[in-house]
Amino acid sequence: MLKSQQNSESAEALAIQALGFVASDPELLPRFLAVTGIEAHQIRRAAMEPGFLAGVLQFILAHEPTLLRFSEAVGIAPSEVGIAARALPLGGEDHERSI
């Protein structure tokens, strides 16, 4: 497996953890839904769209207290979230280039 593919898979796994973290938090979930403009029942479908998982990590990164809580919850350094966000496609053409 190529290193970039490993990085992408690790980043995707972290983003899925981040999505679970957001979805299970009664304060974060409404804010996430408001920022993204999606409804709760659309999350599963949206998670399959290019760029969605990168967006989840960007949401975590945008609020330092959330970033610190998430990092502590999953046992990683906060900087790892930014590294993972950069490893994921942003959607559209970026997604096609990463395949």
Please list, in sequence order, all residues whose beta carbon lies within 8 angstroms of the beta carbon of residue 75, skipping any fewer than 6 positions away.
none
How confident is residue 98, by pLDDT bands cut at 50, 70 and 90?
very low
How confident is residue 63, by pLDDT bands cut at 50, 70 and 90?
very high
Q: What is the pTM of this model?
A: 0.83
> pLDDT per residue over 65-85, tens digit each?
999 999 999 999 999 999 999
If one counts the domains in the chain, the total is 1
Residues 92 and 86: their CA atoms lie apart, in Å, by: 15
- Its domain, for residue 57, covers 3-98
> pLDDT per residue over 3-54, tens digit each?
455 588 999 999 999 999 999 999 999 999 999 999 989 998 998 888 999 9
pLDDT for 90 equals 83
